């Protein structure tokens, strides 16, 4: 449904959120645009699991899926902007995610999770 153009748009939105000062009048608009885009991305069948481990300084972790399988992820796989407070409390948070079509990361040998968001955001709709 969403191809490379969606991945490129997500990357550009994330870069915009990082480089635009939070005090800027454009920042709230970027956040709304990012959230709207992410709602559209998340409206498809995804897997569900819990962040079992997150390495704050490395910005990567693992999700244990409800079926018992584990998946590697990098912080950039989240479809929403994460504050420092949320980043510090990722472990044990319930998330939904898709599987990357890329090969597993060489150092983890686990499938990679992408398009990650918090499950409670999806179920509230």
Residue 90's pLDDT is: 93
Domains of the chain as residue ranges with CATH: 4-123 (2.40.50.140)
What is the spatial distance between Cα 125 and Cα 121, in angstroms, rounded to a whole number? 7
25-40: pLDDT as tens digits: 988 888 888 887 777 6
Rounded CA Rg of the chain: 14
> What pLDDT shows up at residue 70?
93
- Over 80: is that where the pLDDT of 4 sits? no
Q: Give the C-alpha separation, 82 to 21, whole Å.
A: 15
Distance CA 51, CA 119 (A): 11
The angle subtended at Cα 38 by Cα 36 and Cα 43, nearest 5°, is 105
């Amino acid at each position: 449904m969403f191809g490379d153009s969606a991945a490129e748009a997500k990357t550009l939105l994330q870069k915009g959120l990082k480089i635009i000062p939070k005090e800027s009048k454009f920042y709230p608009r970027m956040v709304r645009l990012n959230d709207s885009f992410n709602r559209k991305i998340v409206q498809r069948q995804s897997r569900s699991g819990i962040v079992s481990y997150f390495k704050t300084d490395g910005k990567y972790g693992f999700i244990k899926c409800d079926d018992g399988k584990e998946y590697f992820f990098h912080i950039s796989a989240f479809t929403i902007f994460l504050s420092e407070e949320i980043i510090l409390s990722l472990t044990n948070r319930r998330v939904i995610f898709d599987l990357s079509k890329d090969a597993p990361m060489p150092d983890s040998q686990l499938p990679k999770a992408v398009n990650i968001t918090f499950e409670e955001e999806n179920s509230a709709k």
